[in-house]
């Protein structure tokens, strides 16, 4: 009994103990659930109108898109493309579900047929779409590659979605028309006209420097226009770029090295134990070999006309003698040394005809090609002999030619320029004469060529050029690294702007970088910098060095901007001009006492101007520009009436209507109603999806899941 009494006395204490135990149990459950929720968040890229897009599925599509888009496409670009596709599909599917839209098997086949009709792999011998080939293709994918089959399923889904989207758009368009009343309004806006006199006191008559705008005024303006200034979370940075660019000394060294190539050199030969004279560029005979050994750009074995030559060579070398050299000279990021190695006279363009004899392995070979290279050469020689003996036989022998395009024109290749043909074909047709017939071998096979005609011959030259890319030396690269490192250390505990100014470095600010952004103005694709700025451990004022193509960037995180309303600092560039305009309008209105145009013009040192046939469809005033509000006010005046002071986009106005020109009534406004309907239908294509997207519930987790 004593024990029971003690328990009763301590019942409140026991209740508290039990409650704490239960509370801790609940808390542990919550933490476990939050871990599960966190895991879910990490595996869901987005939730769009209740539909979840998994991270695994999203990344698989991104990888496939990147392969499809080809080299040079970044992961972020592919990700953004897939994102837009997924959002569009999810947004539209929610509409399809409400309407009960679906694509049945027969419709799916029709959509695939339309999409794949031009693909040769799904065509029969007659060039028509063959559904059996499509079925075989799908079955093969399913049996051989799960990944490829899944990609096909994705493709079918996208085709189905596109088909339903078109049906949806068509349904909306079907409900969009222009009424006769709307047609009359459209007609009146265009054809009701007024002639006016007006005086404009432009805002530019007051200097911007005389108008002060406070931060509180900017803040108030932002609050009044919240929709315009709502932004995503962003970051501001400052950076200084250190470029690995060739110094003046580097350029001098490259130029001097080219100059030395001109001279003959005496080199000791280890094999003969004697000195050899190695010819320099000025005296060497095998120019192609010399250029290919010494130059960063390979030898170009082509003639060129003066009109096609680079200006520097046209002016300094084209009219010189064979063997003459010009340079070194600077051109397109290279130092160059050029030598005139040959000259000739040849036509600007040629007309010829040919018979192409392919051989096994040639580019013109087909499944029907059986001749070896030796056999094809014999055939070509035989054809040439026949044609030389009797040119009229040329057309009769076209059955032997593999060039189906020129065969339709009796083998004729109509007027072509020097660089239009492969080198061997080009050289024969331009360096020989009208009427010449010969056999030329190219990658396509053996050509029997007859030169039919040529334009008048003019001088052409062949120029050999030794080029050296202008690049920084190792010493320059080392110096850039030291300078960047020194600056990085200096700004670690000092003011970024002050140190930059002391060192005469240019600071480049970048504002409003968003979390999924890829490009940094001035630095191009720098996803690594964006990630760093959004890292939770990166604080405002932190500085980091980044390797960039051709150098380094020392980057400072200048600001973290939260999602919501734009900051006063970031919005000032947009807001200040608007507030200035408002203040100028008040100043101008406050100083004006005039009640008619002449008095206003005299007081403000302006002129009375006129504008004729002003209409509301195109609210533009001659001499003042587009002014919708002023034009609208003019249409509210009676003929002969003068307006009070009006504030427009470009200044303060006073307007007098001198003539009202009403539109003539029409018997029928159907044509204008049709135009309104067409305008509405056109707007459906561009605005329907955007409106649905704006209304959709989109939770974007890309920054947390696939960054």
Per-residue pLDDT, averaged over 559-585, amounts to 92
319, 399 in Cβ contact below 8 A?
no
Q: Where among 345, 367, 393 does a domain terminate? A: 345
Identify the pLDDT of residue 53: 87
- Residue by residue, DSSP assigns 63-79 as HHHHHHH-TT--HHHHH
335 DSSP β-pair partners: 330, 468
Is 643 among the domain residues? yes
Whether 499 is covered by a domain: the verdict is yes
Q: CB 288: neighbour CB atoms within 10 A? A: 14
**Using CA atoms, how far apart are residues 463 and 310, in angstroms rounded to an integer?**
11
One domain, residues 291 and 220: no
The count of domains in the chain is 5
**Contact yes or no for 467/336 (Cβ under 8 A):** yes
Preceding amide of 97 cis, omega within 30: no
Q: Kindly state whether residues 354 and 320 are assigned to the same domain.
A: no
CA distance 397 to 406: 13
Contact 422, 441 (CB under 8 A): no
Within this chain, do residues 274 and 255 fall inside the same structural domain, yes or no? yes
Place of tokens 């004469």: 433
Q: Above 50 in pLDDT, residue 157?
A: yes
User: Residue 609 forms beta bridges with which residues?
Assistant: 198
Percent of the chain with pLDDT over 90: 60
CA distance 315 to 306: 9
- 357 and 399 inside one domain: yes
- Please state, in angstroms and rounded to a whole number, the distance separating the CA atoms of residues 594 and 586: 15
Per DSSP, the residues of 257-317 read HHHHHTS-EEEEETTTTEEEEEP-TTT-S-HHHHHHHH-SS-----EEEGGGS-HHHHHHT
For residue 127, the model assigns a pLDDT of: 76
For the segment 320-332, what is each residue's pLDDT rounded down to a tens digit?
999 999 999 999 9
More confident residue, 307 or 7: 307
Side-chain-side CA neighbours of 324 within 13 Å: the count stands at 11
Which of 532, 562, 592 is the last residue before a domain boundary? 562
Q: What are phi and psi of 674, to 5 degrees?
A: -65, -40
Reduced to 3 states (helix: H, G, I; strand: E, B; else coil), residue 496 is helix
> pLDDT digit string (tens) for 331-344?
999 999 999 999 99
Element (H, E) at 115: helix 105-116
Helix (H) or strand (E) holding 45: strand 44-48
3-state secondary structure of 415: strand
Nearest to 85 by CA among 173, 170, 167, 165: 165
In whole angstroms, what separates CA 577 from the centre of its chain? 31
> Given this model, what pLDDT does residue 358 score?
94
71: left (phi over 0), alpha (psi -120 to 50) or beta: beta
- Domain boundary among the residues 622, 637, 661 is at 661
Question: Do 376 and 308 share a structural domain?
Answer: no
d(CA 24, CA 14) in angstroms, rounded, equals: 15
Q: What is the pLDDT of residue 357?
A: 94
Tokens of 139: 């079955």
Say how far apart CA 538 and CA 556 lie, in whole Å: 10
CA distances from 107 to 152, 200, 616 (A): 17, 63, 48
Q: Which of 7-21, 58-72, 206-220 is predicted least confidently?
A: 7-21
Distance CA 77, CA 65 (A): 9
Angle value at C-alpha 408, between 406 and 410, nearest 5 degrees: 75
Q: Given a cut of 50, is residue 644 above it in pLDDT?
A: yes
Nearest Cα to 62, choosing from 39, 50, 42, 78?
Answer: 78
The CATH number of whichever domain residue 550 belongs to comes to: 3.10.50
Q: pLDDT per residue over 606-625, tens digit each?
A: 999 999 999 999 999 999 99
Concatenating the DSSP letter of every residue in 310-367 gives -HHHHHHTTTS-TT-EEEEEEETTEEEEEEEEEEEEEESEEEEEEEEE--TTSTT--T
Does residue 542 sit within a domain? yes
Question: Tens digits of per-residue pLDDT, 508-547?
Answer: 999 889 988 888 998 988 889 999 999 989 999 999 999 9
The two tokens of residue 406 are 């020129």
**Three-point CA angle 654, 659, 661, nearest 5°:** 125
| More confident of the two residues 9 and 136 | 136
- Contact indicator for 158, 89 with CB cutoff of 8 Å: yes
Q: Do residues 402 and 364 make contact, with C-beta atoms less than 8 angstroms apart? A: yes
Torsion, CA 99, CA 102, CA 107, CA 108, rounded to 10 = 140
User: Looking at the domain assignment, is residue 281 inside a domain?
Assistant: yes
Which DSSP string do the residues of 497-523 spell out, in sequence order? Answer: HHHHHHTTPPPEEEEEEETT--EETTT
209 and 265 inside one domain: no
Q: Note whether 223 and 281 are same-domain residues.
A: no
Q: Which two tokens stand for residue 399?
A: 């059955």
The pLDDT of residue 148 is above 70 = yes
Q: What Cα–Cα distance (Å) separates residue 110 from each residue in 155, 156, 158, 449?
A: 14, 12, 14, 49
How many whole angstroms separate alpha carbon 650 and alpha carbon 657? 20
Q: Are residues 266 and 337 in the same domain?
A: yes
> Which of 101, 71, 232 lies closest to 164, judged by CA?
101
Q: Give the pTM.
A: 0.63
Residue 14 has pLDDT above 80, yes or no: no
Instruction: Look up residue 179 and give its two tokens.
Output: 């009424």
Is residue 34 one of the residues assigned to a domain? yes
Q: What is the pLDDT of residue 5?
A: 45
Place of tokens 């040192």: 605
CATH of the domain at 392: 3.10.50.40
Phi-psi region of 332 (alpha: psi -120 to 50; beta: other; left: phi over 0): left
Distance CA 108, CA 156 (A): 8
The shares of helix, strand and coil residues in the chain, as percent rounded to the nearest 5, are 50, 25, 25
Same domain, 390 and 480: no
For the chain, the average pLDDT equals: 88
Q: What pLDDT does residue 243 have? A: 95
Does some domain include residue 671?
no
Do 24 and 34 contact (CB within 8 A), yes or no? no
532 falls within a domain: yes
pLDDT of 12 over the 60 cut? no
Rounded to a whole number of angstroms, the CA Rg of the chain reads 39
Q: Which residues pair with 346 in a beta bridge?
A: 458
Give me the domain span that covers residue 33: 2-43
Higher pLDDT, 283 or 270: 283
Of 471, 463, 468, 464, which is closest to residue 296 (Cα–Cα)?
468
Q: What angle do CA 393, 398, 400 make, to 5 degrees?
A: 115
pLDDT at 664: 94
Distance, CA of 445 to CA of 379 (rounded, Å): 11
Examine the domain organization and report whether 390 and 440 are in the same domain: yes
Confidence class of residue 124 from pLDDT cuts 50, 70 and 90?
Answer: confident
Residues 440 and 497 in one domain: no
Q: Is residue 435 part of a domain?
A: yes
Could you give the CA distance from residue 431 to residue 433 in angstroms, rounded to a whole number?
A: 7
Whole-number pLDDT of residue 384:
95
User: Whose CA is closest to 631, among 617, 616, 644?
Assistant: 616
448 and 363 share one domain: yes
Report residue 245 as tokens: 């660019």
Q: Kindly tell me if the per-residue pLDDT of 591 is higher than 70.
A: yes
pLDDT value at residue 594:
93
């Amino acid at each position: 009994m004593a024990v029971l009494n003690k328990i009763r006395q301590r019942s409140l204490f026991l209740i508290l103990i039990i409650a704490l135990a239960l509370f801790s149990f609940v808390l542990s459950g919550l933490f476990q659930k939050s871990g599960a929720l966190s895991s879910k968040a990490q595996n869901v890229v987005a939730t769009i109108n209740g539909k979840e897009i998994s991270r695994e599925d999203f990344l698989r599509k991104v990888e496939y898109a990147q392969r499809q888009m080809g080299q040079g496409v970044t992961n972020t670009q592919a990700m953004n493309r897939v994102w837009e596709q997924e959002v569009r599909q999810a947004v539209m599917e929610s509409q399809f579900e409400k309407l009960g839209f679906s694509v049945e098997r027969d419709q799916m086949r029709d959509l695939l047929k339309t999409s794949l009709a031009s693909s040769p792999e799904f065509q029969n011998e007659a060039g028509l779409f063959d559904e059996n080939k499509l079925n075989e293709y799908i079955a093969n994918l399913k049996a051989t590659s799960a990944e490829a089959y899944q990609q096909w399923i994705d493709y079918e889904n996208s085709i189905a979605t596109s088909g339903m989207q078109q049906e949806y758009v068509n349904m909306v368009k079907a409900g969009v028309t222009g009424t006769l009343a709307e047609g009359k309004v459209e007609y009146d806006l265009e054809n009701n006209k007024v002639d006016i006199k007006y005086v404009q006191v432009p805002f530019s008559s007051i200097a911007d420097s005389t108008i002060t705008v406070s931060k509180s005024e900017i803040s108030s303006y932002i609050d009044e226009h919240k929709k315009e200034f709502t932004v995503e979370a962003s970051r501001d940075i400052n950076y200084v770029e250190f470029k690995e660019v060739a110094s003046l000394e580097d350029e001098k060294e490259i130029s001097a090295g080219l100059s030395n190539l001109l001279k003959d050199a005496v080199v000791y030969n280890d094999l003969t134990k004697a000195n050899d004279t190695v010819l320099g560029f000025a005296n060497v005979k095998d120019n192609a070999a010399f250029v290919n050994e010494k130059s960063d750009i390979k030898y170009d074995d082509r003639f060129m006309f003066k009109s096609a030559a680079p200006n520097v060579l046209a002016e300094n070398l084209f009219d010189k003698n064979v063997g003459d050299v010009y340079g070194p000279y600077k051109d397109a990021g290279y130092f160059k040394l050029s030598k005139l190695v040959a000259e000739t006279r040849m036509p600007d363009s040629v007309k010829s005809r040919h018979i192409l004899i392919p051989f096994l392995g040639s580019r013109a070979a087909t499944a029907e090609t059986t001749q070896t290279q030796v056999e094809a050469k014999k055939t070509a020689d035989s054809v040439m002999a026949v044609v030389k003996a009797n040119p009229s036989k040329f057309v009769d022998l076209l059955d032997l030619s593999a060039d189906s395009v020129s065969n339709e024109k009796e083998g004729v290749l109509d007027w072509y320029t020097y660089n239009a043909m492969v080198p061997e074909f080009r050289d024969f047709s331009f360096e020989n004469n009208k009427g010449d017939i010969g056999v030329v071998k190219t990658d396509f096979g053996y050509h029997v060529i007859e030169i039919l005609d040529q334009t008048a011959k003019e001088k052409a030259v062949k120029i050999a050029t030794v080029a050296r890319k202008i690049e920084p030396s190792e010493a320059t690269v080392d110096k850039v690294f030291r300078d960047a490192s020194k600056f990085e250390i200096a700004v670690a505990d000092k003011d970024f702007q002050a140190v930059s100014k002391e060192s005469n470095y240019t600071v480049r600010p970048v504002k409003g970088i968003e979390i999924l952004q890829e490009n940094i103005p001035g630095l191009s694709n720098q996803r690594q910098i964006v990630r760093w700025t959004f890292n939770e451990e990166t604080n405002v004022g932190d500085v980091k060095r980044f390797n960039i193509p051709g150098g380094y960037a020392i980057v400072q995180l200048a600001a973290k901007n939260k999602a919501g309303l734009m900051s006063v600092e970031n919005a000032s560039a947009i807001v200040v001009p608007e507030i200035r305009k408002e203040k100028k309008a008040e100043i101008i209105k406050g100083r004006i006492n005039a009640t008619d145009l002449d008095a206003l013009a005299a007081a403000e040192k302006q002129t009375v101007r006129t504008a004729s046939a002003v209409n509301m469809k195109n609210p533009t005033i001659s001499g003042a520009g587009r002014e919708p509000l002023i034009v609208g006010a003019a249409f509210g005046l009676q003929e002969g009436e003068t307006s009070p002071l009006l504030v427009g986009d470009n200044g303060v106005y006073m307007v007098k209507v001198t003539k009202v020109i009403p539109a003539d009534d029409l018997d029928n406004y159907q044509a204008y109603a049709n135009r309104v309907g067409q305008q509405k239908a056109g707007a459906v294509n561009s605005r329907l999806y955007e409106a649905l997207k704006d209304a959709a519930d989109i939770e974007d987790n890309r920054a947390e899941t696939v960054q």
